[in-house]
Amino acid sequence: MTVPLLEVRHLRVEFPTRRGTLLAIDDISFDIAPGEILGVVGESGAGKSLTGSAIIGLLDPPGRIAGGEIRFEGRRIDNLPYDEMRKVRGRSIGAVFQDPLTSLNPLYTVGQQLVETIQTHLDVNADEARRRAIKLLEETGIQAAAQRFDQYPHQFSGGMRQRVVIALALAAEPKLIVADEPTTALDVSVQAQIISLLKRLCREHGAAVMLVTHDMGVIAETCDRVAVMYAGRIAEIGPVHDVIHSAAHPYTVGLMGSIPAMDEDRERLLQIDGSMPRLTSIPSGCAFNPRCPQAFGRCRVERPDLLDAGATRAACWLHDEPTRAAA
């Protein structure tokens, strides 16, 4: 079997507050293989972006990793000093964020920012860094890259700025890219271009991707596997096709049912009643049980771990053999 590029084991993320400690990420584990695109999907507040931030070492204070470990190429990185993690983040792990303006400095040209990133992490002179930067801009679909090299971020459209951010993420030839909602602020046609670009560049550069999004359409189009998150935990994880067409967790079933299908004649979409619980009021047992149409006694008192559920793994007691036998 392929050795995982990224290993996340029993990760916990906490936020200390005056009223107590909020547990935002609660004991999640997953791997990403070299060259794989793993999608992470769920409602707002499920913990998707926090998981990505924990991996790249950019949790906003007072957030902290309170348990578990993160390994990259077999090396533990969650306990590295800031300067050491900064080298890993730029050289080995790239990042693409939702709003490109948060990643680009408005006072410097895009060329200056690309050259600085390349020279920080690669041993090349200024001329070579410039050539690499222009090539990256061309690869990401920016026309007249040599001329636009000297322009400022405000001179680019939203879609073009996101292309520059992807070029920045690829500048040091990382092995993993954490992309946090990279298409949310873009119109549909530009979204499709960015997704196609990410897939092509990762294939050509051999990089793996952790793609955080709330859009199942993007997941279906892009990813090899998908992890569905709910209230800080992974509800289901498995190959994209199986999760979409044969969902094993009631929450995933609800998510899939809420997506309109062009080949079905339905007057109403399915819906999941209620809303995701606040971090201050996570229910006992399975966090989804108040909204689950199939919940029973054990769901309300005991929290399930991920269980084998055919081609996927789901955190649901419906897939526990003793429970099914008793029922």
**Inter-CA distances, 197 with 136, 137, 191, 211, Å:** 12, 12, 10, 13
305-307-311 Cα angle (round to 5): 145
- What lies within 8 Å, CB to CB, of 93 at 6+ separation is 55, 56, 72, 174, 175, 176, 177, 178
| CATH fold label, 6-40+58-223 | Rossmann fold (3.40.50)
Edge-to-edge strand ranges of the sheet holding 64-72: 20-32, 6-17, 64-72, 75-76
Lowest mean pLDDT among 12-21, 250-259, 288-297: 250-259
- Answer for the pair 175, 207: CB distance below 8 angstroms, yes or no: yes
Give the span between the Cα atoms of 58 and 55, in whole angstroms: 8
Banded pLDDT at 325 (limits 50, 70, 90): low
Residue 16 pLDDT more than 60?
A: yes
Average pLDDT estimate for 129-153: 93
Banded pLDDT at 324 (limits 50, 70, 90): low
Residue 261 pLDDT more than 70?
A: no
- Answer for the pair 72, 88: CB distance below 8 angstroms, yes or no: yes
Per-residue pLDDT of 169-186, as tens digits, reads 888 889 999 999 887 777
CATH 3.40.50.300 domain locations along the chain? 6-40+58-223
The encoded tokens of residue 88 equal 């890993």
Residue 143 pLDDT more than 60?
A: yes
The encoded tokens of residue 149 equal 């090299």
